[in-house]
Amino acid sequence: MTLRSTCAIVLKIVDHGESDKLVTFYSNNLGRITGIAKGAKKSRHRFVNKLELFSRLQMLYRPPRNPSGLLFISEAELLCAHLSLRTSFQRYVAAMYICELLLRFTRDSDPDPQLYALLQWALVSLDHADTPQKITALYHLQLLAVVGYRPEIQQCGHCGHPVGPGRSYLFIPGSGSLLCSACHHQQGPHSSRLSVQALKFLASAQMVPLERLNRLQLSRQTAAEAMEALYHYTFHLLQQDIHSWQAMRALAAVPARKKNAPSPGAIQATSGNCPSATT
Ligand SMILES: [Zn+2]
């Protein structure tokens, strides 16, 4: 069978046997899919410094023989290493959370170009900006919209009063909507209080196209508020926990660290230019 080519972003890698790796990635035309890279643990040529978390690759592959089989990864060319996502602890935690959300909300072989573009935007933005909380909150909000669970944050879901000063708001995970202070008298166990500032930010983020999202300004505290609400909503939707949330939540609570803080693990230096977020 002849080889095919695709652009793909690595979401997860696990060792397989003595010399192989199983790589789960999100591709622009294949969606989420897992492939086997034979000999990847030992190869000095085909895969070294390429099959790394968060890398964007041009991949040569053979499709699986049956729908539930593994794709065979023949070769990979590095398009963008997103190196700082593996050398900065803050960025690593945020990138892990972003990838886990995508893994949870997608199924195999169900491509969505919007999700690919959103993932690419998030990783490129994380790689170049020092605002992982803001980027994570924006990514999460956009992801929910693309997969059909856009939260209703423009007005109270009960009385319809538009969000504005003079009332406080709770975000209710069960309905994905707000309750204003005129309609509720106490906070429920899983509801999250959202400031008018956070709600205004999230509402404008829902209107802005991907290429302009980075222009939105958001304080760390407001980003933390938004992330908390989106997490509880997602937990309700998935009915299961997101493993990397605790690390992400801790990150949201600590002051910003300097760029290229201590590495999260053994990291190999890679290089590669990253032309744009629109491939
Ligand atoms: Zn109300």
pLDDT in tens, 17-41: 989 999 999 999 999 999 999 988 8
Cα-to-centroid distance, 181 and ligand 1 (Å): 6
Cα–Cα dist 25/76, whole Å: 12
Place of tokens 């023949």: 74
Task: Please name every residue paired with 73 in a beta bridge, in sequence order, or none if there are none.
Answer: 61
Cα-to-centroid distance, 165 and ligand 1 (Å): 13
pLDDT at 220: 87
Cα-to-centroid distance, 237 and ligand 1 (Å): 23
Q: Tell me which residues have their CB within 5 A of the ion that is ligand 1.
A: 156, 158-159, 180, 182-183
Cα-to-centroid distance, 229 and ligand 1 (Å): 18
pLDDT at 225: 92
Cα-to-centroid distance, 145 and ligand 1 (Å): 23
Sheet holding 169-172, edge to edge: 152-156, 177-180, 169-172, 192-194
pLDDT at 172: 94
pLDDT at 10: 97
pLDDT at 263: 43
Range(s) of the domain holding residue 76: 4-81
Cα-to-centroid distance, 246 and ligand 1 (Å): 31
Q: Within 13 Å of residue 184, how many CA atoms lie on the same side as its CB?
A: 20
Q: How many domains does the chain have?
A: 2
Look up the CATH number of the domain holding residue 14: 2.40.50.140
Kindly state the greatest CA–CA separation across the chain: 66
Cα-to-centroid distance, 172 and ligand 1 (Å): 12
Cα-to-centroid distance, 193 and ligand 1 (Å): 14
**Is 21 found in the same domain as 123?**
no
**Is 69 found in the same domain as 56?**
yes
Tell which phi-psi region holds residue 217, choosing left (phi > 0), alpha (psi between -120 and 50) or beta. beta
CA dihedral 262, 265, 271, 274 (to 10 degrees): -80
**Is 100 found in the same domain as 77?**
no
Q: Is residue 269 part of a domain?
A: no
Cα-to-centroid distance, 179 and ligand 1 (Å): 5
As to burial, measured by CB atoms within 10 angstroms (0-12 exposed, 13-18 middle, 19+ buried), residue 273 is: exposed
**Is 91 found in the same domain as 63?**
no
Cα-to-centroid distance, 88 and ligand 1 (Å): 42
Contacts of 10 by beta carbon, 8 Å cutoff, 6+ apart: 23, 24, 25, 51, 52, 53, 54, 55, 56, 57
Split the chain (279 residues) into runs of 10 and give each run's mean pLDDT: 93 93 96 93 78 96 87 94 95 97 95 97 93 94 97 95 93 94 78 92 93 90 93 96 94 58 40 39
Cα–Cα dist 165/162, whole Å: 10
pLDDT at 72: 95
Helices and strands, counts by H and E, the chain: 7, 9
For the entire predicted model, the pTM comes to 0.88
pLDDT at 279: 35
**Is 36 found in the same domain as 95?**
no
